[in-house]
Amino acid sequence: MTTHDPIAAKKPPLWKRLWFQIFIAIVVGVMLGRFWPDAGKAMKPLGDGFIALIRMMIAPIIFCTIVHGIGSMRDMRRVGRIGLKALIYFEVVSTFALVLGLISAHLTNPGEGFTGSLPANANAVQGFVKRAADDTGVVGHLMAIIPSSFFDAFATGDLLQILLISILTGTALAKMGDLGHKISKGIDDVGKVFFKIVGFIVYVAPIGVFGAMAFTVGNFGAASLVTLGYLIGIFFLTAAFFVFVVLASLARLAGFSLFQYLRYVREELVIAFATASSETVLPNLMRKLERAGVSEATVGLVVPTGYSFNLDGTNIYMTLSILFLAQVTGTDLSFGQEMTIVVVTMLTSKGAAGVTGAGFVVLAATLTLFPQIPIESLGLLLGIDRFMSIGRTLTNFIGNGVATIVVARWEGELDRARLKAVLSGKEPTAELPKDQVAA
């Protein structure tokens, strides 16, 4: 006798599934960029438009999620514990990623024997260096967290500023008793409206992904991969080791399978891959983690904070790239100088959000602090930065999802039974229509 599976019966055909549509969009985009590069470059507005649509929803979604999560809490000490444990986790894992980049550079020596030529001058990177020079140091970073007005944070979209005003608002509501809880509930209802809008935007995700991939291949082509292909390969292998060994081990300790988790967020992974920006999937990640059993307060605190403080892929890229440039230019670095690089990048990397190209700007900011490495050598990495950005984005995205679940398990804010059911595909919410699940 055949058992009827109501969950399986609800699954749409393959061609209607978002991940399959995005996969087809990537293939078509790559082919267009490869064989008709000019046409591929012309598709750039499609990718930029999709990213802009998602980005405009990030600030209100983070605000509503955090305010409701904290505002509905009775014990404010829980909020402090979650934040503290998240920061501890971020610093430990991020530091390991920085050291891993150094170890990988020493084991593989990607810059030794480099046959390409250095840029004649720094003109190719002067724009990035200028942006790096605008960095005002640690104090400047801390002061920049404070917006000029409450609504300015929404206008600029600065994640840390939004996080600050969200925590303050949520804490105020939590201290206002029943009135605060009523307002918090109303904000949660408003948040559902924003998530619904994201659900609408998801329908154009394949178009945005097609435009992003067509532009990437058409603009940069395969030629830029040849000269520095070894470095790209080393970076992706190092990032893969970090994900499938380090993060997989942390996931196992937290009681879940990394591979099941990756299957659960596969749509977000392919969108992040095509757009080279983890911001495009931030709202989706928050909603899916909540559905997987992570408390709303934990999701609201850990995910946005992780986008500034838990950039594992960027950290690997930073130390690996600095040592690559040192090897290319014949610059000898002592053990003490390499440890200084780790400490400095630990601070400078906090300024790189999940935006395309931000990692390169932060690398420029860091390199200006080490004048023994010629700044013009940065020009070597310009042509391949888009491809490196894809690796940074995927690693950062996966790392933040794992971090949120680990911190939730650590703090007792995780419904382990629900997590297991959702990741194994036995929970109906693992497969929802597009208008209910953001990507």
* Spatial distance between the Cα atoms of 352 and 7, rounded to a whole number of angstroms: 41
- pTM, two decimals, is 0.78
pLDDT on residue 226: 62
Using alpha carbons, select from 168, 150, 166, 183 the residue that is nearest to residue 72: 183
Three-class SS state of 307: helix
* Spatial distance between the Cα atoms of 40 and 387, rounded to a whole number of angstroms: 16
In b/e form, how buried is each residue of 83-114, taking b as 16+ CB within 10 angstroms? bebbbebbeebbeebbbbbbebbeebebbeeb
**Torsion (CA) 295, 58, 165, 95 in degrees, nearest 10:** 70
pLDDT on residue 117: 55
Three-class SS state of 257: coil
For the record, the structure tokens of 152 come out as 């300015």
For the record, the structure tokens of 347 come out as 């601070």
pLDDT on residue 138: 52
Please identify which residue in the block is written with the tokens 């009775």: 74
Using an 8 Å Cβ cutoff, are 363 and 378 in contact? Answer: yes
Residue 410 C-beta-side C-alpha neighbours within 13 Å: 20
Using an 8 Å Cβ cutoff, are 287 and 188 in contact? Answer: no
pLDDT on residue 439: 36
* Spatial distance between the Cα atoms of 333 and 264, rounded to a whole number of angstroms: 43
pLDDT on residue 225: 58
* Spatial distance between the Cα atoms of 319 and 108, rounded to a whole number of angstroms: 13
**Which phi and psi angles does 149 have, rounded to 5°?**
-155, 170
pLDDT on residue 406: 95
Amino acid at 48: D
pLDDT on residue 259: 95
Query: Which residues in the chain come in under a pLDDT of 50?
Result: 1-9, 120-122, 136, 354-356, 429-439
- Going from the N-terminus, what domains does the chain have, and what CATH number goes with each? 17-430 (1.10.3860.10)
pLDDT on residue 6: 44
pLDDT on residue 221: 65
Helix ranges, 145-281 (H): 152-156, 159-174, 177-202, 205-220, 223-227, 229-241, 248-253, 258-264, 266-275
